[in-house]
Structure 1
């Protein structure tokens, strides 16, 4: 195993900021970048991508298929250690687990997130598709609203500067004080520096949009408790369409279901997360 930064597909900001360095068998060091925060807390999708890169190096297979994460304590920008373990390795699938740790001010090591994931080879999958799923109905990219020009989510949302998001106008009522109440968020997703999406970046994309809680009339940080993502195929080049929906808010928690479609109209990723309702 190389004792250097893991090779990535390019020198994009995302690749640099998700780089990990192998220090021992199954142990990686990384630095969580300050540019991927929401309300001064590191974004959950970015964390998933960082850990996903380490697992892709530690396991015999490199493509994430199913990734399930439990967020234990809020992560902050700065140094972190990822410890991985191969649970099972097979011919077509490998399963591993990983935890990311940071050192607290008192010197103790704190576990931030724990992940169990299955990896394989997306290029080896069958092309047989039988689905009732359809791409989300949303305006073409040029008729959607760029987050570079507004609307700006309340509070610190620095990761928007890393992305080229274009929001469906039907899901931005929250920005003008008129949320729809439907619990929906849709957008075109791309990286600001033009990097094309790959399987690893899909783990970021499922958690990159403003939360559906905004369209439910809620404001503030919506912390993720658990997130599971299924990567179904390698995305074609070009912007992605991301659709989020929430059907049930109860007991101070809500679910957020995500579908990601690529430029070839293929459903490339699905996810569900459980999140806490914002405390205003």
Structure 2
């Protein structure tokens, strides 16, 4: 079954490590295209350049300028292709301008093993039928964030005061998550998931677009089918910036992805 997500992150080889893409308008939020979606487009181009090593293990991206819907290119340069891990550099460009530059390690998570151990604890979320869906967001907000139609998010009913002007000040937001159409998670889609929830600064009483400066994601295992649990948290704001740590847990209760990003505080 085809899913819109796969169409939206699709790339076409253009020769010499270059891939063409069409950035979908449905991933716009605030002043640009969502950073996690863009990371998955880059990740998909890298995957196409590395037969036999389809999975991102680690990727660090620097966001140089906001991207806009429309044509883009991803230039991929393999720096080293070892036995189990390849190191790759990639740039996403629109016109003559580089919008994102990234460095990634890729491999095959199936071959590397499926043993996941952690001392971290899953987000405490009630059953999905008791949670609050993102579809309840006001129409005015949804008009500025069409990406909300690209997935389902279900929030803890007792911890969603930030959505009605009553933030709790905990610096943490968590939700159940699934891509639209029931598209099952995979390692590439996890690059989108780590940047899909509202900026955690909403929970600190600072709503608004929080553009990403740098994002590093680690994919630890292939996720099991089904809903994901996602948690964003921050501990520090300084110099007009904040860090946002993310954990992604699969339906088998495993921590399958982690990320940290540095973002600008909403204006």
TM-score, normalising length: structure 2: 0.96
1:135 aligns with 2:147: no
Instruction: Give 2:148's match in structure 1, choosing from 160, 164, 167.
Output: 160
**Which ranges in structure 1 are unaligned for 5 or more consecutive residues?**
1-9, 104-108
**Is the 8 Å Cα contact of residues 114 and 221 (structure 2) preserved in structure 1?**
no
How far the C-alpha of 1:273 sits from its partner, in A, is 0.3
Q: Which stretch shows the higher mean deviation, 33-42 or 150-159?
A: 150-159
User: 2:74 maps to what in 1?
Assistant: 82
How far the C-alpha of 1:131 sits from its partner, in A, is 2.3
Q: Within 5 A, what are the aligned runs for 1:63-74?
A: 63-74=55-66
User: 1:39 maps to what in 2?
Assistant: 30
- Pair 265,188 (structure 1): closer, same or farther in 2 beyond 3 Å: same
**Is the 8 Å Cα contact of residues 153 and 175 (structure 1) preserved in structure 2?**
no
User: 2:217 maps to what in 1?
Assistant: 229
How far the C-alpha of 1:135 sits from its partner, in A, is 1.1
How far the C-alpha of 1:127 sits from its partner, in A, is 4.1
Q: Deviations over 1:228-278 (max 9, x none)?
A: 000000000000000010011111110000000000000000000000001
1:175 aligns with 2:166: no
**Is the 8 Å Cα contact of residues 171 and 215 (structure 1) preserved in structure 2?**
no
- Computed over aligned residues only, the root mean square deviation of the Cα atoms, in angstroms, reads 1.4
How far the C-alpha of 1:153 sits from its partner, in A, is 8.4
User: 2:49 maps to what in 1?
Assistant: 58
Q: Deviations over 1:108-159 (max 9, x none)?
A: x111000100000111123444421121112121111111123678461110
Instruction: Give 1:22's match in structure 2, choosing from 13, 19, 43.
Output: 13
User: 1:267 maps to what in 2?
Assistant: 255
Higher relative contact order (CA 8 A, sep 6+): 2
Q: Distance in 1 between matches of 2:140 and 2:205?
A: 13
- Pair 129,31 (structure 1): closer, same or farther in 2 beyond 3 Å: closer
User: 2:107 maps to what in 1?
Assistant: 120
TM-score, normalising length: structure 1: 0.91
**Is the 8 Å Cα contact of residues 231 and 269 (structure 1) preserved in structure 2?**
yes
How far the C-alpha of 1:40 sits from its partner, in A, is 4.3
User: 1:91 maps to what in 2?
Assistant: 83
Give the structure with the higher percent helix: 2
SS at match of 1:75: coil
How far the C-alpha of 1:209 sits from its partner, in A, is 0.5
Residues paired across the two proteins, number: 265
How far the C-alpha of 1:77 sits from its partner, in A, is 0.3
1:184 aligns with 2:172: yes
Q: Distance in 2 between matches of 1:152 and 1:184?
A: 24
- Pair 237,151 (structure 1): closer, same or farther in 2 beyond 3 Å: farther
